[in-house]
Amino acid sequence: MAPGETTWKLSLFAPKPTVQAALLAHDLIDDWDHELVIAGREVAEDRPDEWVLEGWYPRKPGKAEEAALGGLFEGKTPRITVEELPPADWVTLSQHNAPPIRAGRLHVHTPDYPADRHAIDFVIPASQAFGTGQHKTTAGCLEMLGAMKASGVIARNIADIGTGTGLLGFAALALWPRALITLTDIDPVCTGVVEENARLNGIPMGAGAGEAVMIVADGMDDPLLEVRGPYDLLIANILAGPLVSLAPDFAKAVSPGGNLLLAGLLAGEQEAVVKRAMARAGFRMAARLQRGDWAILWLRRRRQW
């Protein structure tokens, strides 16, 4: 969905378990129309059990798009409302003026707020990419990275898959400043976003120790990503469905005894499905966080299969 284009939004209101089940059903569909982007959320903070499933489409949706969304629900489909949105970058708008977050030693803020000189500080402007630190999964990953460092994890070669703004990769590099780090995303827009954020935060771009390389890649499918491995820390804050599909690739990319940080999955059914896939691929649980409805998982690759 390019910024500046008219977008159509479809909304379906339902109880929290119903929307979460629909999100899980979506993750299991291999041939989903990638132009129909969906997300689920609370209607309001004071109404945590009332949720809405939202879909965004670059053209006026027809019966096929409505049927696709409705088909995610078992039983009676909630009423679908369709709304034409004015031309705008809705990702940027959703992040504008977002309050700062503090996760251990890490402090993340947009330019609307001051830096924290007592913390490892990052300024991440609202942008066309996801990952300012405001979403519970991103904030949870920052917490888990701090916990990894505190527990003695040594990371010399790091990859951040689905990096978005580059924030999680930058945070990892701040914690392990001599590491090699590879940032990837499927969206080409992220390249410019990451490079600008690297400049703002003094992160050198390059192929050496303490520098970051940015790659446009679909999952783990890139020769440079393969050549720069194996990784002793791989981060993937994406979605449950892709995490399950990528489990065998993660096993090939992470060194024996290496660490895998996963997020973007709802606690409960999605978490269980992801854990099973990772166990089959040779990973074992090291630690878990839950922030709101979202699970953040730290796993280690077994040294022996």
Structure token pair of residue 267: 């606690």
Token pair for residue 193?
A: 């976003």
> Exposed (0-12), middle (13-18) or buried (19+): which is 182, by Cβ within 10 Å?
buried
Q: Which of 162, 176, 170 is nearest to 129 (CA)?
A: 162
Round the CA-based radius of gyration of the chain to a whole number and report it: 19
| Domains detected in the chain | 7-88 (3.30.70), 95-301 (3.40.50.150)
Residue 163 near residue 131, CB atoms below 8 Å: yes
Nearest-angstrom CA–CA distance, 61 and 249: 35
Under 8 Å between Cβ of 61 and 79: no
Task: Give me the pLDDT at residue 123, please.
Answer: 87
Q: Residue 304: which pLDDT band, with cuts at 50, 70 and 90?
A: low
Of residues 19, 79, 28, 81, the one with CA closest to residue 50: 19
Alpha carbon distance 144, 32 (integer Å): 31
pTM attached to this predicted model: 0.72
Neighbours of 172 (CB within 10 A): 26
Q: Are strands 254-266 and 294-301 parallel, antiparallel or unpaired?
A: antiparallel
3 state SS of 67: helix
| Ranges 47-61, 119-133, 184-198: which has the least confidence | 119-133
Report the pLDDT value the prediction gives residue 190, as an integer from 0 to 100: 87
Task: Kindly list the distances between the CA atom of residue 133 and the CA atoms of 98, 103, 168, in Å, as whole numbers in the listed order.
Answer: 9, 10, 9
Q: Does the pLDDT value for residue 133 go beyond 70?
A: no
pLDDT in tens, 221-269: 999 999 999 999 999 998 888 899 999 999 999 999 999 999 988 888 8
Hey, which bits of 169-302 come out as E strands?
180-185, 212-216, 231-237, 254-266, 283-291, 294-301
Give the pLDDT of residue 6: 56
Which of 49-53, 248-252, 290-294 has the least mean pLDDT? 290-294
